[in-house]
Structure 1
């Protein structure tokens, strides 16, 4: 199946090139959405959206937790050629208060996605289509124009993936600051919603 989104038209492609702040939605253990402001880039030909972030960010921990961890404590990826961000599993801590976003620090961040039709296989989540990743959505709005990209996310930390994400981010937004802990959330787009 081709993920090429170029056929969606010039208005769609232009909208995803314009400089707009976006949101990334992941799901907490309790099933509530975790929505955070991010910069998103879209490779329309490959059907891949990218978000650069730090490996210790909440979004990376939620993705690691929702997709399961492999034996090395990493989110598994579709191809073995790319390494993914190591996220150490955590344990429950007594007397801890919820963080700003409502998560309990120290609690394990993994559970099954079976209720959403996604089963952990070898440390990754595999949808019925055979694709690997954790269900997420990115969205951007400008007045009455809006677009949401739903898809399956993996977290990568190999230098080539991070460099490509930084290059694309610099084209759409600005050159990102130096961050040795940078990783990239790669989202294979599976559905597009919106007015453009």
Structure 2
């Protein structure tokens, strides 16, 4: 079947419009999977999936990964916007303190970076992943409803520019509900590379 969401048919597109909770899987530095409940929106024409979250969430900290931080423990963001000016050093809290609750883990955790404007992030295990000229961190999002299931794999970057955040919030409101106000909100933007599933 097609890895282009537009080529998967009406049932696939409708499944990703229905209100279902999803999971986002990233990889910890030790190679183990970090899987959390999130809301995901699909932008089929652009070949993107989006997750809104807090810049201080554990998932964002994992996406920043090795090489995504400068020597002072801040995210090194090229062309950083106004949000990047508020960068703070990463904390040293333990794994238990970094667990976030709620859909998309929007409660702040102490150990993830603050500034992420228009940045391509390095995976925790090493260098940037590339596929067909695209750069990002390998991730997967999945949703299940009875016998129907769908997994989207792709390359993730984290964005905090106002336009990207507003678009992600608009799409989230269409699929789920209007998200609560969060000045620390960022977007995990996933360029789709593979689609698996029963729909």
Q: Tell me whether the two structures share a fold, i.e. TM-score over 0.5.
A: yes
What are the superposed Cα offsets for residues 15-69 of structure 1, whole Å, 9 maximum, x if unpaired?
Answer: 0000000000000111100000000000011110000001100001110115633
The 5 Å alignment of 1:95-174 reads: 97-99=94-96, 113-114=125-126, 119=127, 125-174=128-177
Q: Say if 1:97 and 1:7 are closer, same or farther in 2 by CA, change over 3 A.
A: closer
Q: Which moved more, 1:147-156 or 1:57-66?
A: 57-66
Q: Say if 1:183 and 1:8 are closer, same or farther in 2 by CA, change over 3 A.
A: same
Q: Distance in 2 between matches of 1:75 and 1:144?
A: 43
Contact 2:65–2:125 under 8 Å retained in 1: no
Choose which of 156, 167, 185 in structure 2 pairs with 1:182.
185
CA displacement at 1:112 relative to structure 2: 5.8
TM-score (norm 2): 0.76
Q: Say if 1:143 and 1:97 are closer, same or farther in 2 by CA, change over 3 A.
A: same
The 5 Å alignment of 1:1-196 reads: 4-65=4-65, 68-69=68-69, 73-74=74-75, 88=88, 90=90, 97-99=94-96, 113-114=125-126, 119=127, 125-196=128-199
TM-score (norm 1): 0.77
CA RMSD of aligned residues (A): 3.2
CA displacement at 1:88 relative to structure 2: 4.8
CA displacement at 1:192 relative to structure 2: 0.3
CA displacement at 1:4 relative to structure 2: 4.6
Contact 2:21–2:143 under 8 Å retained in 1: yes
Contact 1:51–1:184 under 8 Å retained in 2: yes
Paired residue secondary structure (2:65): helix
Q: Distance in 1 between matches of 2:183 and 2:58?
A: 17
Q: Which runs of 5+ in 1 are unaligned?
A: 120-124
